[in-house]
């Protein structure tokens, strides 16, 4: 569904991601793991059109989207839940969600999406008139994921969803991801928490300083020397 | 007597507020300080005047036309001038809108000379009516009521419509807005248009009692900057209250200190507030 070839990304013409190739197939959960500054967030920004690739190509559902601007990609079915939540703090929960559904034209589709995220995160429904900025970190993360799902994406990309969350909350958010996957959405996650991410995903890519070190099924990666040594402290 | 002065101040202030709401929109949403804002008002006044002079339509009747015209001027300004400089540092945008204000002002002189023009025999006359012993001018009341109504409409638009909320979302977090599928470029164009629409409406409301000439709007434009700073950037409610306050302060200053010094009081209050609350009276 998503094919990335030799992608070079950077800021102000200084590359930080050097020729990354990866693939996400329909109904898969794929993880990109790596430590701080590896370039994970940069890759997602490139995939969602927030930054223009310097080289390489991106293909989504058979269409070349290398130069497609972010807002059009949402319409095509790509949704990116950014690192650090990036909610509309002064808007209410409901307004945040309705902005998430900005590309949906049909009222029935909007209502359907809303029902879906409220079932997934009942807490949001209880507090739909509250300003997003008054939420706790965990609640904000749920809202960020929910907002990302409101566009009814085919591919959901989530950046560091466990960031700043207590372990119980990490579990809960990871669980919600399992439910999301059950609805048939393809998921690409980016995580520093290598073990948790790989346990959840079908396949993974290990990224270090802007290059892919290793790729494979999650089981393979969890057993590999590179991952064991560098990320799992074994 | 004091009551009458305060009422007059409030009536003026409501129109100031509408002009300031327009300025506050582009300032708050896009971080663009539009120095050509006063010239938008000026072109609104001339539009009202010429529609009246050539077609015989009273400015209050042609208000929707002028709103659309200045909305278009705003969108055009965004597309031709602002869009290009938005990516570069803040000072460039400042210089660009300053340049635009010069161009628009000089074009005004060129097209319509420096002569004073007046709308005569307007729909609502400048007669006063007497209420509780105070003499209040009809045309001021109509202008103020119109300005309040339009400010309310803008607020409703921003809070209740999809595009309005998208404007707010874009102002809060531009890249997050792009990630939910908002075309922020389009939102910016609409914001500039809306800003123009506010000034166009203000122009139409005051065209029948304001002398129209190329310098007619410099005071309004200066006051709009003061009001936006007082009210807090991008804050519509703040702009409304600050506008009313400035109107009243101006009126009281004019009465107690004299017409030539009344703005001294306004600017003094502005300086003091900026020292105590740099983000404005209603800013957060
Ligand atoms: N806006 C930016 N401007 C310039 N350089 C940036 C910018 N954002 C990131 N970088 C640089 O790009 C490199 C990769 O950063 P990136 O944020 O993609 O890493 P990451 O893998 O997501 O890290 P983390 O796990 O800390 O989130 C880093 O060296 C970083 O300093
Ligand atoms: Mg990151």
Give SS3 for B34. coil
Distance CA A95, CA B64 (A): 30
From the CA of B30, how many Å to the nearest CA of chain A? Answer: 16
Closest CA to B174 of B87, B283, B279, B76: B87
**What domains are defined for chain B?**
2-113+132-276 (1.10.3470)
Closest CA to A28 of A196, A201, A174, A192: A201
Residues 6+ apart with CB under 8 A from B143: B11, B14, B15, B205, B206, B209
| Ligand 2 centre distance from Cα of residue B7 (Å) | 57
Tokens of B129: 């009516």
Closest CA to A120 of A99, A96, A91, A150: A150
Whole-number pLDDT of residue B99: 93
B169 touches chain A (CB under 8 A): yes
C-beta atoms of A71 and B183 within 8 A: yes
Tokens of A36: 């701080």
Residue A234 binned pLDDT confidence (cut-offs 50, 70, 90): low
Mutation target to probe the B interface, by most B beta carbons within 10 A, among A42, A69, A88 is A88
CB count within 10 Å of CB A234 equals 8
What interface predicted TM-score (ipTM) does this complex get? 0.94
C-beta atoms of B162 and A70 within 8 A: no
Mutation target to probe the A interface, by most A beta carbons within 10 A, among B159, B176, B177, B186 is B176
User: Residue-wise pLDDT tens for chain B (284 aa)?
Assistant: 888 899 999 999 999 999 999 999 999 898 888 999 999 999 999 999 999 999 999 999 999 999 999 999 999 999 999 998 888 876 888 899 999 999 999 998 899 988 899 888 888 888 888 888 888 899 999 999 999 999 999 999 999 999 999 999 999 999 999 999 999 999 999 999 999 999 999 999 999 999 998 888 888 888 999 999 888 877 889 999 999 999 999 999 888 888 777 888 888 888 888 888 877 777 64
B87 touches chain A (CB under 8 A): no
Whole-number pLDDT of residue B283: 61
| Ligand 1 centre distance from Cα of residue A78 (Å) | 22
| Residues B235 and B283 sit within 8 Å (Cβ to Cβ) | yes
Ligand 1 environment, Cβ below 6 A: A 11, 16, 34, 36-42, 83, 160, 192
Query: CA angle, A170 as apex, A169 and A172 as ends, to 5°?
Result: 60
Q: Which residues of A touch B178 (CB under 8 A)?
A: 49-50, 69-71
**What domains are defined for chain A?**
2-85+153-230 (3.40.50.300)
Q: Which residues of A touch B182 (CB under 8 A)?
A: 71, 99, 102
- At which residue do the structure tokens 């005051």 appear? B206
Helix, strand, coil content of chain B in percent (nearest 5)? 75, 5, 25
C-beta atoms of A90 and B173 within 8 A: no
């Amino acid at each position: 569904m998503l094919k990335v070839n030799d992608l070079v990304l950077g800021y102000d013409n200084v590359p930080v991601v050097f020729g990354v190739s990866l693939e996400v197939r329909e109904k898969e959960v794929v993880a990109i793991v790596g430590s701080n500054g590896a370039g994970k967030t940069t890759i997602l920004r490139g995939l969602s059109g927030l930054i223009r690739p310097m080289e390489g190509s991106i293909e989504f559902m058979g269409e070349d989207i290398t130069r497609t601007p972010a807002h059009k990609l949402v319409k095509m079915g790509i949704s990116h839940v950014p690192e650090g939540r990036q909610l509309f703090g002064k808007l209410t929960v409901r307004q945040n969600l309705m902005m998430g559904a900005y590309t949906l034209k049909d009222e029935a589709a909007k209502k359907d999406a809303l029902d879906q995220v409220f079932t997934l995160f009942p807490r949001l429904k209880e507090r739909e008139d509250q300003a997003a900025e008054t939420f706790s970190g965990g609640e904000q993360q749920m809202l960020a994921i929910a907002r990302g799902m409101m566009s009814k994406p085919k591919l959901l990309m989530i950046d560091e969803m466990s960031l700043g969350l207590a372990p119980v909350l990490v579990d809960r958010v990871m669980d919600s991801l399992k439910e999301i996957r059950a609805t048939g959405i393809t998921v690409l996650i980016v995580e520093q928490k290598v073990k948790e991410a790989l346990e959840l995903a079908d396949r993974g890519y290990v990224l270090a300083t802007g290059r892919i070190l290793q790729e494979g099924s999650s089981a393979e990666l969890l057993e590999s020397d590179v991952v064991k040594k560098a990320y799992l402290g074994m | 007597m004091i009551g009458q002065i305060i009422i007059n101040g409030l009536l003026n202030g409501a129109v100031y507020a509408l002009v300031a709401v327009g300025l506050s929109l582009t300032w708050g949403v896009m971080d663009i300080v539009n120095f050509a804002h006063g010239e938008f008002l000026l072109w609104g006044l001339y539009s009202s005047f010429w529609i009246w002079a050539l077609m015989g339509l009273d400015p209050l009747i042609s208000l929707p036309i002028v709103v659309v015209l200045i909305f278009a001027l705003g969108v055009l300004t965004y597309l031709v001038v602002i869009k290009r400089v938005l990516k570069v540092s803040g000072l460039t945008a400042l210089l660009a809108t300053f340049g635009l204000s010069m161009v628009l002002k000089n074009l005004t002189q060129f097209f319509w000379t420096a002569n004073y023009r007046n709308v005569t025999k307007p729909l609502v006359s400048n007669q006063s009516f007497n209420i509780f012993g105070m003499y209040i001018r009809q045309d001021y009341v109509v202008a103020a009521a119109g300005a309040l109504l339009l400010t309310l409409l803008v607020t409703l638009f921003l809070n209740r419509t999809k595009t309005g909320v998208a404007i707010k979302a874009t102002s809060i977090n531009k890249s997050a807005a792009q990630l939910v599928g908002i075309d922020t470029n389009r939102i910016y164009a609409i914001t500039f248009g809306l800003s123009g629409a506010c000034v166009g409406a203000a122009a139409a409301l005051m065209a029948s009692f304001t002398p129209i000439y190329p310098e007619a709007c410099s005071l309004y434009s200066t006051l709009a900057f003061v009001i936006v700073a007082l009210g807090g950037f991008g804050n519509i409610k703040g702009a409304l209250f600050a506008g009313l306050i400035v109107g009243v302060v101006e009126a009281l200053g004019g009465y107690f200190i004299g017409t030539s010094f009344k703005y001294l009081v306004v600017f003094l209050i502005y300086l003091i507030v900026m020292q105590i609350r740099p983000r404005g009276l209603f800013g957060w």
